[in-house]
Structure 1
Amino acid sequence: MASAANGPGLPRIFLPSGRTPIKPEFPNGLPPLPDIQSEQLRLQVFTHRSFFARPTHIFEDMPDDPSPDNEMLEHLGDTVLNLVVTGLLREVYPCLRVGPSTKIRALIVGNPTLASISVQYRLPERLRMHPAQAITLQASTNIQADLFESFVGGVYLDRGLEVTKTWLHPLFRPYIVEAYRIVRVQHGLPPDPDPPYPLLHSAYRHVSLTPPMRGSGVATPDNSGIPASSWSIPPPPRIPGNVGHLSLFNQHMQQQGKFVEWVYTDSEGEGTKTTPIWVVRAMCEGECLGRGRGSTKKAARNEAAKEGLVHLGIYISQPEGFYAAA
């Protein structure tokens, strides 16, 4: 069964186990299968090796008698799938690091997910196999996944990479988004990322940042051409986009001449050996200013810094739709 993962304030998300497929929603159904125009290739795509029962210990087929089953196409399709999904993953999430990217791709191209797609396309119903093994093979997750890879390999050989990508990109984009959210939760993060640092127009929606032009004839107390009422609220601070909560918190503490001690505590068995969860408190003069957790020490400190800024009375406005922990 799938395991449930949820942290404080996070929605309950079920993480697929090794045998549970990802199942995003397709309101309009899956993208249509492309046609394999070569009849011989189309027949080979759906031919299981049990149909001809050729020996499996042979090192190489004779040039004039290649194996007529779909194992070669399956092998080729597996490679094409990895190429296309990796490229699409970089397109959708260009800043994703290699470790999380590998986990996301593994969820997408794993047998459970590919078997689920194969069944939705009803590919196993067209499989040619030995009649004595028909029921077992058609119900096998591995065979269903292999058949989808074989079909991908057949489309690639028959129509080329561009046609293959035209089909697979809209098919796998929802899977990538869903797998991305799952892996974020596995790393101790909320399923949806924080948006970039708040833009000025988001933080100051109620203030006009475009004053009248000089010489417009509007009288002002300082003769600047800018009505005093336009600046009844101070202009927004110019905060560099690359300054995060941690940097901002450290700046304010340094300005006050205070020292912050970062105290790490046990994560109570959360995370894994390869993806630990760090829990930290920002301590100053015996007082806890904020707590945080994350997949790295820096990420945990940044979360604690968010609470620390609030404790200092510094509030950073977020755009509408921003994910807020309950």
Structure 2
Amino acid sequence: MRQVDEMEKKLKTLEEKLNYSFKDKKNLTIALTHTSYANENKLGIISSNERLEFLGDAILNLIVSQYLYKKYPNYSEGELTKIRAKVVCESSLAYVAREICVGDYLLLGKGEESTGGRERESILADTTEAIIGAVYMDSDFKTTNECLLDKFEKDIVKAVANGDLFSDYKTELQEKYQKQANSKIKYSILKEEGPEHDKIFFMNVFFNEKLLGSGKGRNKKEAEQMAAKQALSLLGDQNE
């Protein structure tokens, strides 16, 4: 009973971060259930998040495509396709998952748990798609559309403005401080985790020894961009 209460409390916290309350909590639980956990506990294929991931991927592509089609009427099919690919990518999906701490709620098998599955880029990205599928199954297209754009619209606009979703966070952060003489932004690796073929880098960004933000990535460059992105987000919150 205690475990059930704790799980319900965790799911409620995640719902608050998603800004969506599930009518059927089972939809969210399945979205968080990795195949390794389902297999280990003999739950069957319908109890893992793979089917919801399949659905969520299609819905995400449709919603982003619809947004781009309406928002940018003068862009060609090729241009729209390139922008969508930059937004609907593993790095972008995993970043959204980290922002709402999806890794804390995952149900993983012991093997995945012991090898850092909660931080693995591919698992986080797949789970984000599964959650999108779960929201759709629990509600409707309109609700899912609103919930998704709340998380992705800023990244879409950045992809259009800069041509690359993750290319300009460092530059944007640098520009905020460049007027201050004798000051410098520095990036520092906090730690590295995982095997050589699947390593995750943890990066901090400092300004005059003050920590501005932190980020993770599959290489140092991506980790720096993610740290800069968090710093910009935190600066925005401070200015509101």
Q: TM-score, normalised by structure 2?
A: 0.57
- Aligned pairs for 1:187-266 (under 5 A) are none
Q: Secondary structure at the match of 2:116?
A: helix
Distance in structure 2 (CA, Å) of the matches to 1:31 and 1:108: 21
**% identity of equivalent residues:** 28
8 Å Cα contact 2:17/2:100 also seen in 1: no
1:100 Cα deviation from its structure 2 partner: 1.1
* Structure ranking higher in helix proportion: 2
8 Å Cα contact 1:82-1:109 kept in structure 2? yes
Aligned to 2:117: 137
Backbone CA RMSD of aligned residues: 2.2
Q: Which runs of 5+ in 1 are unaligned?
A: 1-29, 55-64, 185-326
Structure with larger Rg: 1
What's 1:172 paired with?
Answer: 152
Corresponding residue for residue 33 of structure 1: 19
Task: Identify which of 129, 132, 137 aligns with 1:152.
Answer: 132
1:48-79 CA distance string (max 9 Å, x none): 0000227xxxxxxxxxx752100000010000
Aligned-partner residue type, residue 36 of structure 1: F
Q: What is the letter of the counterpart of residue 140 of structure 2?
A: G
- In the TM superposition, what is the alpha-carbon distance from 1:31 to its structure 2 partner? 7.6
- The C-alpha deviation readout for 1:245-274, integer Å capped at 9, x for no partner, is xxxxxxxxxxxxxxxxxxxxxxxxxxxxxx
Matches within 5 A, 1:91-110: 91-110=70-89
Runs (5+) with no aligned partner, structure 2: 1-15, 165-240
Partner of 1:128: 107
Residue 161 of structure 2: aligned partner: 181
Secondary structure of the structure 2 residue equivalent to 1:151: helix
Q: Which residue of 2 aligns with 1:233?
A: none
> Please, which of 141, 144, 160 is the counterpart of residue 161 of structure 1?
141
Going from structure 1 to structure 2, the CA distance change for 1:131 and 1:158 (only over 3 Å counts) comes to same
Larger mean CA deviation between 36-45 and 103-112 belongs to: 36-45
Letter in 2 for 1:109: V
Of 54, 60, 80, 1:81 maps to 60
Aligned to 1:50: 36
Equivalent pairs, count: 146
TM superposition score normalised by structure 1: 0.42
The AA in structure 1 aligned to 2:30 is Q
- The code of the aligned residue for 2:23 comes to Q
Is the partner of 1:36 in helix, strand or coil? Answer: coil
